[in-house]
Chains A and B, each alone.
Chain A
Amino acid sequence: MPIAAALLSVAGLAGVAVVAPILVARRAAWATSIVYGASFVLAAVLLVCGLSALLGGSAYQGAVHLPIGLPWIGAHFVLDPLSAAFLVIVDFGAMIASFYAIGYGAHEEEPGRVLPFYPAFLAGMNLVVLSADAFGFLVAWEFMSLSSWALVMAHHHDAENRRAGYVYLLMASFGTLMLLLAFGLMAGPDGDYVFSTIRTAAHVPWLSGLVLVLMLLGAGSKAGLVPLHVWLPLAHPAAPSHVSALMSGVMTKVAVYAFIRVVFDLVGEPAWWWAVTVLTLGAGSAVLGVLHAVLQRDLKRLLAYSTVENVGIVFIGLGLGLAFKTNDMAGAAALAVTASIFHAFNHSLFKSLLFFGAGNVLTGSGERDIEKLGGLVHRMPETAYLFLGGCLAISALPPLNGFVSEWLILQAILLSPDLPQWALRFLVPASGAMLALAAALAAACFVRAFGITFLSRPRSPAAETAHEASRWQIRAMYALMALCLVAGVFPGPFLDALSPVSQLLVGGAMPKQPILPHFSIIPISESRSSYSGFLVFFFILMASWAAIRVIHNFASRAVRRAPPWDCGFPDPSPATQYTADSFAQPIRRVFGPIAFRAKIDQTMPLPGDMAPARLTLSLRDLVWEFIYAPLEGAVLYAAERLNVLQFLTIRSYLSLVFAALVLLLVLVATWA
């Protein structure tokens, strides 16, 4: 029974978390390998559980009721296609991250601050996916948040990390509060918190709408939807790199799972305005996330912003799913939902790959600032090529997996003319345009990230003396790269595996993907569109091979004298190269004035004046300025006003208590 094995493995992870501090106290050298090795094995077991439940059909699925937790609820767990799919996403990422961390963890200065929380974090994420009652779900959710917070605070000596931890803690508590309210609304006055009864209960439409809003706030803040994303680019880079990979690649997916579970599965029939809300937020996140990413200098922060973008893409897919589901277009809804879960899976692959690459750069050179890197392709060749692969995948270039899922989402967008609501007919193509824009900007962003970091000449001594990462780290990246390629070249089996999920969520499934004609996939029907990653891959291989042959056979072998122009590098100083800022400048010129209120101040000294000329650029984060700063002000104002309450006399306090009591009694009397 996979669910029993899964729960036992989760208990095992919790056990590892308990044992870890003892190991750290005894002998530090082994502790890292033991903890990550055990996490690797347990995550592998969980992955097998998830795969068997997803592929094996209902025989391998199931539900368990354990008599722990609240006495009148107990603890319900379920392994249905949806939780199985996300169990696979979570535990594949967890498995590879644990493997990577066997090598990466050796660089950890204070392993005692990471090792106990890492397995606890994995256990928390798995429990969220497995639990089937609101109480267990929220406890697991909070457990996940707090253990990841502890990991963010692992390097707490840095003031910036402490601030990141603080913001994260605030946002996480806010998110959990929203989820709590959402589940409270769904449970209704009878207070039945088990998912199976929530699912069958009758839901009042406007209350369901409120649940959607609360879920967007609660799960959206964890996933990183745009007005709520502020903690993400702070907290994700602050953690150790394998944890950053997990937080960006996997934990955001757990939040997506929570959203899907509630909005598609539990809360009943959607209304069409739900799709409008979700699409708008998704499209906004996609574009704003990638715009921020283009301008970042910190490699890990760049990746974190790109997570915001990809979560936005996933939510565009989910919004489309809602739009089609509410209009009873099961096939189209299945396409959108499948595409967006597939994109979630793909993103977990390439985002982990990229974070691992950033981790290698960090361990190899000690730098995260790409303006101080460069030329790493010579010193860390394997990392460089694997990172390049990740960049290709995340930029949605065929034949890799990022292209497949984004293409499928665009295919779903092309079905929008069949929608009856005018608002959706206008909005869906608009969000498609935003998606295309985000994809293009993502490509620019990763050309910049790869080019500045790995190409050209080193910009600092740290980059000059960088060294390649350990074998564990490289092998973990190879595994991810291979899977990115497989999922891109043979996407059919992946889509077939997700069909029970879409059956559960929208009551329909994509057509069964035929294996034969060039491994192509068919979103709706063969006459309409199809894509074969295999053919593209094959042609790329053939074309490269042919080009290499042609160059080798027919290129001129004549000796050439060195020209006076010197290949564009007459000056050996690395400062003459393209910098990250200069590469991003055209994009900043175009979008900066709108998205960031960018302002450039030039001060040119008068002729004869010896003062230096200055060019200052100021970018403003409008989300901070217009949402969080007023909020902060309001909280401070209220706190200031309430502060008076600290200095009253005893009689005033008693009067307050008395007045409150009488007021409550009056309320009881009038209501009863």
Chain B
Amino acid sequence: MERFSLDAAHLLAGGMVLVSFMMLYQNRILGLLNVFAAHAVVLSLSVAWQAYVQAAPHLFVTAAIALLLKAITIPVALHHMVLRLGVHRDIETVGGIGPTMLMGMGLVALSMVVMLPAAAEADPIAREDLALALSVILLGLLMMVTRQNAISQIVGFMSLENGLVLAATGARGMPLVVEISVAFSVLVAFIVIGVFLFRIRERFDTIDTQALDDFREGRE
């Protein structure tokens, strides 16, 4: 049973990495949203399995939130948005699928190399989970960096957050979970604010920098 629970946890976490790769590969927006929904479903399955293994009922709540919010609500909302904006037929010009996938593989290898020795003393579930979660996070970041469309960037960001949740649930014991999730929430809020600020600034690029320049000269 011990062995089986470990294997199942690894299977689900590994599944998330696999789905992350699928997202990297997907260059149509609607397809991307579907893959993202699948990503969230795998996440909620993984969290639910952790809840079962660790006998921690509160993690079921986390799993339910992931399922409702990230697998259903957000993809549906994004779907509507895409249709309304009329960008659903767009094909993103990604800088080459092949190199991106290769980079992704490198990132996964890197996170294994970093995390496995670093978390050597943790119990096996947490250890492998942390390594896989870091891979998911890095792949999400890679996605944000390589895409130009705002919606793909948001999706990349959401998948990054999925990785964070995965890391948080893998750590056994409530206090650590609380600690990690609080820390990550701050990070998440920071990135969200940053993204929106940058988006807005990019939209009003000319106006903004002009104003900034004037301001600076006024100071001198």
Listed in ascending order, the chain A residues whose CB lies under 8 Å from chain B are 647, 649-651, 653-655, 657-658, 661-662, 665-666, 668-669, 672
Evaluate whether A672 and B117 lie within 8 angstroms (CB atoms) in the complex, with A650-B199, A658-B141, A658-B145 already known. Answer: yes
Q: Taking CB as reference atom, which chain B residue is nearest A672?
A: B117
Q: Is the CB of A647 within 8 A of B209?
A: yes
Which one of A650, A655, A657 has the highest number of Cβ atoms from chain B below 10 Å of its Cβ? Answer: A650
Q: Is B142 an interface residue (CB 8 A)?
A: yes
Q: Is the CB of B198 within 8 A of A668?
A: no
Q: Is the CB of B148 within 8 A of A662?
A: no
Q: Is B177 an interface residue (CB 8 A)?
A: no
- Cross-chain contact of B141 among A650, A661, A668 (Cβ < 8 A): A661
Contacts of B144 in A (CB 8 A): 654, 658
Tell me how far the C-beta of B156 lies from the nearest C-beta in chain A, rounded to whole angstroms. 9
Contacts of A654 in B (CB 8 A): 141, 144-145
Evaluate whether A650 and B110 lie within 8 angstroms (CB atoms) in the complex, with A658-B142, A668-B118 already known. Answer: no
Q: A-side binding surface: helix, strand, loop or mixed?
A: helix
Tell me how far the C-beta of B207 lies from the nearest C-beta in chain A, rounded to whole angstroms. 13
Q: Is the CB of B195 within 8 A of A672?
A: no
- What is the bound-complex CA distance between A650 and B197, given in angstroms? 9
Q: Is the CB of B195 within 8 A of A650?
A: yes
Q: Is B171 an interface residue (CB 8 A)?
A: no
- What is the bound-complex CA distance between A325 and B73, given in angstroms? 77
30 contacts between A and B (CB under 8 A): A647-B209, A649-B198, A649-B202, A650-B153, A650-B202, A651-B145, A651-B148, A653-B198, A654-B144, A654-B145, A655-B145, A657-B141, A658-B142, A658-B144, A658-B145, A661-B138, A661-B141, A662-B107, A662-B110, A665-B110, A665-B111, A665-B114, A666-B110, A668-B114, A668-B118, A669-B110, A669-B114, A672-B114, A672-B117, A672-B118
Bitwise interface map of B from 102 to 117 toward A, beta carbon under 8 Å scored 1, else 0: 0000010011011001
A sample of 12 more A-B contacts (CB under 8 A), given A662-B138, A668-B114, is A647-B209, A649-B198, A649-B202, A650-B153, A650-B199, A654-B145, A655-B145, A658-B145, A665-B110, A665-B111, A665-B114, A672-B117
Q: Taking CB as reference atom, which chain B residue is nearest A670?
A: B113
Which are the 7 A-B pairs with shortest beta-carbon distances? Answer: A650-B198, A669-B113, A669-B114, A655-B145, A658-B141, A658-B145, A654-B145
- What is the bound-complex CA distance between A665 and B141, given in angstroms? 14
Tell me how far the C-beta of A642 lies from the nearest C-beta in chain B, rounded to whole angstroms. 15
Tell me how far the C-beta of B149 lies from the nearest C-beta in chain A, rounded to whole angstroms. 11
Tell me how far the C-beta of A506 lies from the nearest C-beta in chain B, rounded to whole angstroms. 48
Tell me how far the C-beta of A650 lies from the nearest C-beta in chain B, rounded to whole angstroms. 4
- What is the bound-complex CA distance between A662 and B117, given in angstroms? 17
Tell me how far the C-beta of B119 lies from the nearest C-beta in chain A, rounded to whole angstroms. 11
Which B169-198 residues sit within 8 Å CB-CB of chain A? 195, 198
Tell me how far the C-beta of B202 lies from the nearest C-beta in chain A, rounded to whole angstroms. 6
**Total number of residue pairs linking A and B with CB closer than 8 Å:** 37
- What is the bound-complex CA distance between A666 and B106, given in angstroms? 11
Tell me how far the C-beta of B2 lies from the nearest C-beta in chain A, rounded to whole angstroms. 28
Tell me how far the C-beta of A64 lies from the nearest C-beta in chain B, rounded to whole angstroms. 36
Contacts of B117 in A (CB 8 A): 672
- What is the bound-complex CA distance between A668 and B107, given in angstroms? 14
Which B97-139 residues sit within 8 Å CB-CB of chain A? 107, 110-111, 113-114, 117-118, 138
- What is the bound-complex CA distance between A191 and B118, given in angstroms? 22
Measured as residues with beta carbon below 8 angstroms from the partner, the interface class of chain B is: 10 to 19
- What is the bound-complex CA distance between A649 and B142, given in angstroms? 16
Tell me how far the C-beta of A40 lies from the nearest C-beta in chain B, rounded to whole angstroms. 44
- What is the bound-complex CA distance between A666 and B202, given in angstroms? 31
Q: Taking CB as reference atom, which chain B residue is nearest A648?
A: B198
Q: Taking CB as reference atom, which chain A residue is nearest B107?
A: A662
Tell me how far the C-beta of A65 lies from the nearest C-beta in chain B, rounded to whole angstroms. 31
Which one of A647, A651, A654, A657 has the highest number of Cβ atoms from chain B below 10 Å of its Cβ? Answer: A654
Contacts of B198 in A (CB 8 A): 649-650, 653
Contacts of B199 in A (CB 8 A): 650
- What is the bound-complex CA distance between A654 and B195, given in angstroms? 9
Contacts of A649 in B (CB 8 A): 198, 202
Q: Taking CB as reference atom, which chain A residue is nearest B111?
A: A665
- What is the bound-complex CA distance between A249 and B173, given in angstroms? 61
Tell me how far the C-beta of B23 lies from the nearest C-beta in chain A, rounded to whole angstroms. 16
Tell me how far the C-beta of B80 lies from the nearest C-beta in chain A, rounded to whole angstroms. 24
Tell me how far the C-beta of B17 lies from the nearest C-beta in chain A, rounded to whole angstroms. 16
Bitwise interface map of B from 151 to 169 toward A, beta carbon under 8 Å scored 1, else 0: 0010000000000000000
Contacts of B113 in A (CB 8 A): 669
- What is the bound-complex CA distance between A650 and B156, given in angstroms? 14
- What is the bound-complex CA distance between A656 and B104, given in angstroms? 17
Which one of B144, B199, B209 has the highest number of Cβ atoms from chain A below 10 Å of its Cβ? Answer: B144
- What is the bound-complex CA distance between A647 and B211, given in angstroms? 13
- What is the bound-complex CA distance between A669 and B107, given in angstroms? 12
Q: Taking CB as reference atom, which chain A residue is nearest B142?
A: A658
- What is the bound-complex CA distance between A264 and B116, given in angstroms? 47
Tell me how far the C-beta of A166 lies from the nearest C-beta in chain B, rounded to whole angstroms. 15
Tell me how far the C-beta of B22 lies from the nearest C-beta in chain A, rounded to whole angstroms. 20
Tell me how far the C-beta of B104 lies from the nearest C-beta in chain A, rounded to whole angstroms. 12
Q: Taking CB as reference atom, which chain B residue is nearest A656?
A: B145
Contacts of B142 in A (CB 8 A): 658
Bitwise interface map of B from 44 to 78 toward A, beta carbon under 8 Å scored 1, else 0: 00000000000000000000000000000000000
- What is the bound-complex CA distance between A669 and B118, given in angstroms? 9
- What is the bound-complex CA distance between A662 and B104, given in angstroms? 12
Contacts of A647 in B (CB 8 A): 209
- What is the bound-complex CA distance between A649 and B144, given in angstroms? 13
- What is the bound-complex CA distance between A649 and B147, given in angstroms? 13
- What is the bound-complex CA distance between A198 and B156, given in angstroms? 50
- What is the bound-complex CA distance between A589 and B110, given in angstroms? 70
Q: Taking CB as reference atom, which chain B residue is nearest A655?
A: B145
Contacts of B138 in A (CB 8 A): 661-662
Tell me how far the C-beta of A646 lies from the nearest C-beta in chain B, rounded to whole angstroms. 8
Tell me how far the C-beta of A651 lies from the nearest C-beta in chain B, rounded to whole angstroms. 6
Contacts of B141 in A (CB 8 A): 654, 657-658, 661
Tell me how far the C-beta of A660 lies from the nearest C-beta in chain B, rounded to whole angstroms. 11
Tell me how far the C-beta of B189 lies from the nearest C-beta in chain A, rounded to whole angstroms. 16
Contacts of A665 in B (CB 8 A): 110-111, 114
Contacts of B114 in A (CB 8 A): 665, 668-669, 672
Tell me how far the C-beta of B40 lies from the nearest C-beta in chain A, rounded to whole angstroms. 22
Contacts of B195 in A (CB 8 A): 650
